[in-house]
Amino acid sequence: MFSAFLIKYAEIGVKGKNRYLFEDALVRQIKYALKKCEGEFTVHKTDGRIYVDAVSGFDYEETVEALKKVFGISGICPVVYVEDEGFEKLGEAVVDYIDKVYPDKDRSFKVAARRARKNYPLNSMEINAELGGIVLDAYPEMHVDVHHPDILLNIEVRDKIYIYSETIPGPGGMPVGTGGKAMLLLSGGIDSPVAGWMIAKRGVKIDAVYFHAPPYTSERARQKVVDLAKKVAAYTGPIYLHVINFTDIQLYIYDKCPHDELTIIMRRYMMRIAEHIAKDTECLGLITGESIGQVASQTMHSLMATNDVCELPVYRPLIGFDKMDIVALSEKIDTYETSIQPYEDCCTIFVAKHPVTKPNLNIIRKHEHNLDEKIDELVQTALDTDEVIVVR
């Protein structure tokens, strides 16, 4: 019965002269999201609103699901279009609409008419009053409440007449592509996909880097990361996933540095490499899934030690989250099931039994000098063999 969706957007509305940039980005993201759906759609801006019109048959559920993944949308209103064939016909259409959308009639309502076409014979107040009367005649169990109606029945008079009353919540945030690009350190765990999703939700385009260590990590662990990137890409659009072979660097660190500092030094090199790729690909920051105190490498001291090697800002959207909250979000965005597949994400053999929790930056820096002989060459080789997978 529905043939269109009115897209509501919250924060874009407050932008000043840049507003059109945000709206255009939202239109672009909606079009991209709908490509995967059955049917054809046109997406257009009219009078400061965005409409998605179905120009062929379409799958309602699938379309709504796709729109619910477009950042920048705060609400999705399914709309019924009726031709303007006189007020009597409109009354019939409204009665029919209520019958189909609200099988249970024992509710309060209010009609809110708006005329974009000012030559319509009735003005807004008259439409409200007349249609209210028609609805009450048809369904005596309904009643009018102008302050807190259960059903706010919107009637918009344009070249056609639009009827809508339901708002399906969208994800909020801002359209991807309005906020620059950032590089996500994607591990295969629960946290990093959620962190990427959160930053992308603020309009940021995401690329990702994954460190694998064959033979210590398996092809399936790598596939799991690709699968996770795909889940995130359902919201963010295509992700360029950089796969870096980290084995030789890890083994070298293992040979040369104290074992309780392995993880910190390893992470410092991961950050360095990620930043290198980020700068090469015009990213404006790094994103990690770190949360204070979750593991030894995420204490305040450890974070300071890993942060020390970066010039770009490092965004850590989960920094104050408890694990439970992160898990809840990962379930919501559908990455949880993939994240908990039992493949090694980071090679546990390189984790010391008792890693330092309060690394001293000066000591870490000193021990890193043990690596001077070969590390630059190894890092360069890792960068040279960067394998890029476009995940969409």
Sites of contact with other proteins (CB under 8 A): 214-219, 251, 254, 259, 342-344, 348-353
Q: Kindly tell me which of 17 and 353 has the beta carbon lying closer to other proteins.
A: 353
Largest CA distance in the chain: 88
Query: 120 vs 343, which CB is nearer to other proteins?
Result: 343
Query: Whole-angstrom Cα distance, residue 189 to residue 264?
Result: 18
C-beta of 87 vs 216, nearer to other proteins = 216
Q: Which two tokens stand for residue 109?
A: 């309502």
- Minimal distance, residue 353 CB to other proteins, in Å: 7
Q: Which residue's CB is nearer to other proteins, number 32 or number 343?
A: 343
- In angstroms, give the least distance from the CB of 148 to other proteins: 51
Tell me the closest approach of the beta carbon of residue 270 to other proteins, in angstroms.
18
Closest-CA residue to 12 (of 56, 68, 73, 55):
73
The sign of the torsion formed by the CA atoms of 145, 146, 149, 151 equals positive
Measured from the CB atom, is 124 or 218 closer to other proteins?
218
Residue 351 beta carbon to other proteins: minimum distance, rounded to whole angstroms: 7
Rounded to a whole number of angstroms, the minimum distance from the CB of residue 199 to other proteins is: 27
**Rounded-to-integer distance, Cα 329 and Cα 341, Å:** 17
- Rank residues 70 and 213 by Cβ distance to other proteins and give the closer one: 213
Q: At its nearest, how many Å lie between other proteins and the CB of residue 354?
A: 10
Contact 316, 192 (CB under 8 A): no
Which CB sits closer to other proteins, 30 or 375? 375
Alpha carbon 118 to its chain's center = 39
Min separation Cβ 364 and other proteins, Å = 19
Locus of tokens 């890029």: 388
